[in-house]
Each structure stands twice: as structure tokens, then as C-alpha cells.
Structure 1
């Protein structure tokens, strides 16, 4: 099975409601889809979401990176998988989402070559999962309403977006907790919105109210490694690193410093499936559990994340793969089946993409 061509196209879909964090607001999904074509007619599908405020990539930069990488992999056989991966990652630095889209398509092709669902090829057996759902940042009454709507749909774990104003964030969390009660798990995501001291003050204020979230995600700037450790040493609420971890090297540094409690794996940051699997293995060495998350992505890349979750189900114990549920329409069929908070994997070969 030889690679003969690589094409890109755009996947667009409206959101049910605006997606708002301390970093950005999005009203419509617009992702890049990568199609790797082989001489026998087989096509591998990948996808990546341009997220300039996190990975530094735009739609244009992703297309340009893939065009640059193409000559290094066209003409190679899928059976020479490791050479292809090496060429992708050594031909150009950074560009993690573009590389992830290529990797997803390659893994789809490899699974098709061996005629297995991707999760089975990766050694996974788990096929049912539960994800949280994101509650966008906004005024308190709107966030309470959105939270109640999510619970009505069957979600029992909500990820609350905060980070624009520490005191307002405290008020938001207390109000949402009071509206929902103790049976609903809250995950907090500040998207780098606070300083280390603000984080400690805010979390201690919540803990005095007996509100201890499942975790606080990336409260400080991505490069504020010492700030993460400062927070972890002073609060009960577990600390999860997201934007601070793009690579295994990043994670090792934080884990050796004992600066975090959990690791957030995102394929768009790890440059694809290969390093995501390695990141899970590293976390297991340190006895640290992982969450697998996503950017605001469509079905292809979210499906890849679910297959990775199956492959490393012993260490990836939390899912934040709700992006497809946020879409007003589902433009692509894959091997994942969504029933609100429940995600199932079918037995379709590869990623099961029908595009």
C-alpha cells in the first residue's frame, strides 16, 4: 500500500451555542481534513483544529506545513510506517496539529491494512466511555442554565470554563454547585487565566465552602512551571496540566518536579497518536492518571482520541471528548457513536470514516 497523494479540505459545522473560554470565542467549527491516498484506492482520514492561541497554528499554516511535508512521505509504503512517522516529525519543527492530522490519517491507513478497528490494532479492548461536557464561560445565570440543561441530558460531569475574573469565578462556581448539588462532578478549567497566588486564593475560598472540584485545569500560564508547583503544594484540589504539556519531555519535567496531579493528553498538542501513547506510558511510570481531551474538533480527530483512550484505558481514566456533542450537525460518520455523555466504539475498520 503506497502513498500516492495527500489532499486537504475544510470541515465546517455550526455549534449549538457559542464556545467561550478566557482565551477565545467560537461560533462555528472550521477544521482541516487530511486525506492520504494510496495506490490501491484506500484513503486514510485525519483532522486538525486550528487553535492559534494554544498551538500557534492557523488554517493557512496547517495547509502550508502539510504541503511542505508531502514530498517526504509520498511514494513510501504504509508498511514502512516508522520511516513515514520519522519523516513527518523531522522534516519540520512544531506544527503539532498539522502533524497530528497526518498521523491520524496514517494510523487509519495502517489499521485498514491489517483490517482491524484502530483501537484493536493499538491493543485496546474497552469500547464504552463517558465524557464530560463543557459549560462555556459567561454570566452566572446563563452558566447555571447551561449546566442544568446538561444534567437534564444525562451528563453527571461538567467542565466549567472560567478564568477572566477570579472573584467572579468563585461566585460562578459556588452558584453552579448550589444549583446542581453534590451528585454532579465539577471540573474547572481556567485556561491560563490566573496567577499562581490568585489560583491558591480562589481554590482555598472554594474549599472553605466544601467545594473541591475533581481538578483545576491549567490555572496559570503554560510556561509558569513553578506556579503550578506553588499551587499544588497549597491546595487540596487536584491540579491537571494542559497547555504546559505538549511533549513527553514537558510532562517528565512536571512529573519529576511533582508539580501536577494529572496529565491532559490532546493529539493536537502531542503531534498525533504516537506521542500521545508515549505520554500515557510515561504517566503510568509516575503513577499519575490522565485525561484525554480535544480542541474544538470534529468527528475524525475526536474518534482518534477515543481509540487512544481504549488503548490506554488503564491510565486514561477521564475523557473530555465532548466537541462533537457541541455541534449542531454531524457532517462526518466515524466509528464513534455518541449518546450524549456516553461514547461507544463500533467494529468498523480503521476509524470508520465515511466522508
Structure 2
């Protein structure tokens, strides 16, 4: 199938609850949607979300990057994903979320060209996976209430956002662990908020309190790989690298140096499925387990991420809960979520039938 056109659009995704990202109060997601058209009438869909404090990309920069790449992609054969992504990655540094949107649409088309669901094309290990749900930073009372509400909805793994103040972090984690029943997994996301020695002190305190933490996500700054290794080497609790892994090169450094027990793979950070697969393969080869994560994607990005997560046998965890943060679902088709379980459709590609409210951006 030859690519004949690429259209860029956006959809409005107001959040059911606002949250703070850095110093910014976020009330809606800035979701850019890409549609890749072929000469035989098939359309592939991909998306990107702006997270300027993590990937450095804004909505405007994502649109600009896709426009820049569009003439390089039109005329290419869908089946040549390897060649297309080499062109994309060579033509433009960084801009990983923009690349991910194009990448998703290409893999969607690849599944359609072979008439199989994307998860089967990527490995087909299983067709469903459970996800954790995030308990965002708030007062202790609110976080406890939100945790109990999540458990009532069927979640068995909670990810607590902390990293603001050591004493407060410990108090809130302790309160939540005491409030929830046994068998519920607690994952802690420090959001790069601790210094290495501070992180070790906090984590050892959590261990001494017997709070049974599954793992600690990104306790130190993304750039501080040595600090991450220091923490990993001085605590018993497993440490997961998240922001420290922005693509295959940084993943290689983390894996080679053995600075973390687990690695979080996110399509927006890695540049799409093509690069995410490379990261997974490196980790799998060295027996480092991986978790599929997300930023603030709609069901388009979550379906793509979940397709890889279920396909691979060593992708043992997922953190793909952002679909629950929106007031409404704009995507017809794609992944289905019931309780904490994400199930992939049996339709070709991503199985997405329509994107409601798609507003084309001309230019």
C-alpha cells in the first residue's frame, strides 16, 4: 500500500478532574491526531499528546514536526516501516511524540494490510492485560478516599504520586497502605522528586514500616543515572526507570549500566512502537522486566501501547489508565476496558473505526 496523503487534526479531551503538572494546572489534554491515507482507501490512525515538561513538545511543535515529515513519507510503501522510520529519525532529532503519532498510524495500516489485529502482528502472547490506576497527589484524606474508590471499581494495583516532601510522602503512603486491604499492589511514583541519599532514606523507612511497596518509579532526576544506580544498589525495593528512558540510546545506557530493576516504556517518549520494540528487546535480552506506561493519551495511544504490552511475554506490568480521566470517549473501536483489564479488539490494526470530533488542521 502506497501512502498518498497525511492529515493532521486535533480532538478536545476535557478531563473529569484537573491535575497539576509541574506548576501548571491541566484541565484538558492537547491531543493531536494523524490520519495516514493509502492509494487503496485504507486509513491508519495515530496520535500524540503534548507534555512539554517531559518530552519538551507542545501542541504547536508536534503539528510543525508532522508537517515537516509529511512530504518525506508520502509516496512510501506502508510495508516498509523500517525504511520509513529510518527516514523519519534521520530527518528530525527528538520530537518523539510527533514521530509516535506517525508510527502508530503506520502500524495500524500494517495490521490492516495483513488483515490481523496489531497485537498479533507484534507477538500475540495474549489479548488482554491488567493496568494500575494513578492516585494523584492531593491531601492525605483525598488520596485515601481515591484509593478506596479505585479498589471498589476493581483495581488491584495503585500508583501513588509523591515526591514533594519526604515526611508528607511517607505519611500518605502509610495512610493509604493501612486503609486498603491485603493483596492490593502499591506502586510509588516519586516523579524525580527525591535526591539520591534522600530517596534511599525514604525507601528504607517504607521497608522498615513493612508497607510492601511493589516498586518505586523514577525516584531521582531523569539525567542523574549515577544517582539512580546509587538508589537501586542501596535498597531492597525494586526501582523502575521512567523519565531516564527517552528512547533506545538512553535505554541502552540504563540497561548496560544495570542502574534499575525495571524499565517503563512509553510511546510518547520513545518515538512510537518501532523504537519501543527496540527498547523491549534490549531489556528482554538482559532479563530486565518492562512496564508499558503512558502520558495522557486518548484511546488511540492506549490501544497502540496495549497492543505491544499484551504481545510480549516479558512485559509484566502496565500503567495505561488515562482513558478514565476523560469526560467522554471520542474513539469508536479500539481497546476495551472493564475494571482494570484492557482487552484488545480482534479487528485488523488498532481496530479503531472512527475519531469523533476530529478537527483538521490545515496547512
Instruction: Bin the TM-score by the shorter chain.
Output: over 0.9
Give the stretch that moved more between structures: 42-51 or 242-251: 242-251
Alpha carbon RMSD of aligned pairs, Å?
1.3
Give, in whole Å, the separation in 1 of the partners of 2:311 and 2:87.
Answer: 24
Q: Answer yes or no: is the 8 Å Cα contact 2:22–2:53 preserved in 1.
A: no
Q: Does 1:288 align with 2:280?
A: no
Q: Answer yes or no: is the 8 Å Cα contact 1:135–1:143 preserved in 2.
A: yes
Q: Answer yes or no: is the 8 Å Cα contact 1:119–1:308 preserved in 2.
A: yes
Question: Once the 2 structures are TM-superposed, how far is the Cα of residue 14 of structure 1 from its aligned partner?
Answer: 2.0
Pick closer, same or farther for the CA change 1:205–1:23 going to 2, 3 Å.
Answer: farther
Give, in whole Å, the separation in 2 of the partners of 1:64 and 1:206.
Answer: 45
Give, in whole Å, the separation in 2 of the partners of 1:274 and 1:328.
Answer: 31
1:168-188 per-position Cα deviation (integer Å, ceiling 9, x unaligned): 111110011111133211000
1:317-355 per-position Cα deviation (integer Å, ceiling 9, x unaligned): 001000112222111123311113111112111111122
Give, in whole Å, the separation in 1 of the partners of 2:30 and 2:250.
Answer: 29
Question: Once the 2 structures are TM-superposed, how far is the Cα of residue 22 of structure 1 from its aligned partner?
Answer: 5.5
Partner residue of 1:155? 155
Q: Does 1:322 align with 2:312?
A: no
Secondary structure, counterpart of 2:40 in structure 1 = coil
Unaligned runs of 5+ in 2: 356-363
1:52-74 per-position Cα deviation (integer Å, ceiling 9, x unaligned): 00000000000000011111111
Pick closer, same or farther for the CA change 1:86–1:6 going to 2, 3 Å.
Answer: same
Task: Give 4+ residue runs of structure 1 displaced > 6 Å after superposition.
Answer: none
Q: Answer yes or no: is the 8 Å Cα contact 2:13–2:31 preserved in 1.
A: no
Q: Answer yes or no: is the 8 Å Cα contact 1:22–1:163 preserved in 2.
A: no
- Within a 5 Å distance, the mapping from 1:166-185 to structure 2 comes to 166-185=166-185
Give, in whole Å, the separation in 1 of the partners of 2:20 and 2:67.
Answer: 32
Partner residue of 2:361? none
Partner residue of 2:10? 10
Give, in whole Å, the separation in 1 of the partners of 2:124 and 2:171.
Answer: 42
Q: What is the TM-score normalised by the length of structure 2?
A: 0.95
Q: Does 1:274 align with 2:274?
A: yes
Q: What is the TM-score normalised by the length of structure 1?
A: 0.97
Secondary structure, counterpart of 2:10 in structure 1 = strand
Question: Once the 2 structures are TM-superposed, how far is the Cα of residue 21 of structure 1 from its aligned partner?
Answer: 5.4
Question: Once the 2 structures are TM-superposed, how far is the Cα of residue 120 of structure 1 from its aligned partner?
Answer: 1.2
1:282-320 per-position Cα deviation (integer Å, ceiling 9, x unaligned): 1111111100000011000110001101221x1100010
